């Protein structure tokens, strides 16, 4: 018990004094695990450069995500759902099949209609495991592949009920 407490304190100390800092332009918060909703648990990614992934959404997107899941479950694959401005989707990418070794994050934030029509009115980000931007305005490099995905504009996940 004492050992575990000590370990916890050491981990906390390392976190507090950590050299890396979460960059302000990253569209999701560092504490997303307690503030966002997990919509897909650890699964194998269909992305060629990812291994295993979890998907999380911001709470303001929860209703739209559920509505989309209902439409898809009803067989409506032609749906052109509009997701709310400000909604964020985070794909957490891991090296291992148990989703224990974090590799990095990709994230999408829904912008105002017409703000970035070439890239589906999303802000696209590739963020490293410490919350630093690898490329926080990735745009076309991401949207190009996502254009072939469904069901919502430029979204590749298929929400489930």
Which helix (H) or strand (E) segment is 108 a member of? strand 102-110
Query: What does the longest C-alpha to C-alpha distance in the chain come to?
Result: 57
CB 127 within 8 A of CB 107: yes
- Return the half-sphere exposure (C-beta side, CA atoms, 13 A cut-off) of residue 22: 11
Name which of residues 101 to 160 contact ligand HEC (CB under 6 A): 106-108, 124-126, 138, 141-142, 145-146, 155-157
Is residue 49 within 8 Å of 26, Cβ to Cβ?
A: no
Among 50, 69, 133, 136, binds ligand HEC (CB under 6 A): 50
Nearer to ligand HEC, 13 or 76 (CB): 76
Distance between CA atoms of residues 150 and 159, nearest Å? 10
Among 47, 73, 147, 160, the residue binding ligand HEC under the rule CB under 6 A is 47
Could you say whether residue 46 binds ligand HEC (CB under 6 A)?
yes
* Nearer to ligand HEC among residue 10 and residue 145 (C-beta): 145
Q: Which residues bind ligand HEC (CB under 6 A)?
A: 45-48, 50, 53, 55, 89, 91, 106-108, 124-126, 138, 141-142, 145-146, 155-157
């Amino acid at each position: 018990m004492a050992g575990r407490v000590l370990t916890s304190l050491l981990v906390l100390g390392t976190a507090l004094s950590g050299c890396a800092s979460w960059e302000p332009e990253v569209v999701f918060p560092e504490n997303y695990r307690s503030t966002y909703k997990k919509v897909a648990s650890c699964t194998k990614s269909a992305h060629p450069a990812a291994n295993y992934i979890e998907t999380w959404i911001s709470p303001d997107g929860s209703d739209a995500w559920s509505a989309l899941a209902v439409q898809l479950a009803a067989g409506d694959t032609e749906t052109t759902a509009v997701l709310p401005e400000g909604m964020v989707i985070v794909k957490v990418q891991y090296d291992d099949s148990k989703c224990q070794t974090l590799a990095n994050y990709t994230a999408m934030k829904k912008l105002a209609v017409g703000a970035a029509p070439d890239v589906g009115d999303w802000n696209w980000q590739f963020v490293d495991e410490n919350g630093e931007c690898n490329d926080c305005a990735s745009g076309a490099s991401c949207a190009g592949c996502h254009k072939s995905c469904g069901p919502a504009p430029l979204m590749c996940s298929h929400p489930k009920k």
